[in-house]
Amino acid sequence: MTSVRRHWLAAVAACVAPALAAQQIPDRDFRPAIAVPAYAAGRGPQVCVDEAHDNFHTLDNRFYAFGQLATRDGFRVQPFRERFTAESLRSCEILVISNAQNGIPWNRQPRPTPSAFTATEIAAVRRWVDGGGALLLIADHQPLAGAARDLAAAFGAEFIDGFAYAGADAAATEASQGGGSAAPTLFRPSDSTLVAAHPVATGRRAAEGLTQVRSFTGQAFRWDAPGVEALLRLPADYVSLEPRYAWQFDSTTQRRPVGGWLQGATRRIGRGRVALFGEAAMFSAQLAGPERRPMGMNAPLAEQNPQFVLNTLHWLSGLLDR
């Protein structure tokens, strides 16, 4: 391939990724049934959804379905538009951070990716969790994983700034300069990728038990701290593609094997709880591209994702204590 051709493809990739992101809109008609709401309407824990860090997912846009689902389950859901301090976090019982960004365009991110959070904010969140707060931290593929790396590290986890693909999908993606189409990532108890014994997998009752969860690319991460309970483990053939800039893949892209690494796990810390996930669309319901393709809880093979989202919130709120 000529140098001119390579530069042209890189330029196209740099333009395509933001354009595709702009075409992701909320599916406002998605309304899955909730057989037994966890709380009476408006009587559940206060859920604060971070919108102070250039978040890719916000309640009035790509995280609309998450907010609506949690509200119909009885949680009190509100956007959180302040920096993290002991004072600002006082009103929150569950803090949800989904795809925080550092404000730098994806095609100009330095490496390592700068944090979306200040050291002072990270310390405040850690103290808040130690004191009894519950954190749901979701960070997708590069550069979103890198932007949340320092916050995850405060709880003993290592976020990897890459893209988690099955081996064959990774090869196709590299060969097509990012134009490959990845097969669904499915987590099931039958192959131990979904840990059946985890309370999020079992739910409050048999009807809430999970047999399949779908995610949409995302990152792989490691979390070897004491007390970590794995929930979603990537299949054995998965690799992490780690290009210089997001979505700009070629034959020189760094890759590493990540089979068995995590895409979801939980940990109790101090008096609080932390749930970490390496993919965000599975918590949402979106319509992607000009053809309005379902992506998230509304997608094929993701029929149990709404219950997965509710079970995660139930664990964070203490309803699934064993």
Q: DSSP of 197-221, one letter per residue?
A: TSHHHH-SSGGG--S-EEE-S---E
Mean pLDDT value across residues 90-114:
97
Model confidence band, residue 174 (pLDDT cutoffs 50, 70, 90)? confident
Between residues 183 and 148, which one has the greater pLDDT? 148
Model confidence pLDDT, tens digit, residues 105-115: 999 999 999 99
- Report the 10 Å Cβ neighbour count for 214: 21
Residue 172 has a pLDDT of 86
Cα separation, 208 vs 306, in Å, equals: 10
CA atoms within 13 A on the CB side of 95: 31
Largest separation between any pair of C-alpha atoms in the chain? 63
Q: Provide the whole-model pTM.
A: 0.92
Q: What is the CATH number of domain 42-317?
A: 3.40.50.880
Cα separation, 22 vs 45, in Å, equals: 32
Q: How remote is the C-alpha of 129 from its chain's centroid?
A: 19
Show me where the domains of the chain are located.
42-317
Cα separation, 218 vs 211, in Å, equals: 21
Write out the E strands in the chain: 25-26, 46-50, 76-80, 94-98, 134-138, 157-159, 163-166, 185-187, 213-215, 221-223, 229-233, 238-242, 254-257, 262-269, 272-277, 285-288, 293-296
Write out the E strands in 100-194: 134-138, 157-159, 163-166, 185-187
Model confidence band, residue 180 (pLDDT cutoffs 50, 70, 90)? low
Between residues 22 and 225, which one has the greater pLDDT? 225
Mean pLDDT value across residues 126-143:
98
- Report the 10 Å Cβ neighbour count for 103: 9
Mean pLDDT value across residues 226-235:
98
Model confidence pLDDT, tens digit, residues 66-90: 999 999 999 999 999 999 999 999 9
pLDDT exceeds cutoff 50 at 49: yes
SS3 90: helix
Cα separation, 173 vs 180, in Å, equals: 4
Residue 6 has a pLDDT of 35
Cα separation, 46 vs 12, in Å, equals: 43
Q: What is the share, in percent, of the chain residues with pLDDT greater than 70?
A: 91
197 Cβ neighbours under 8 A, 6+ residues apart: none
Mean pLDDT value across residues 273-297:
97
Residue 196 has a pLDDT of 97
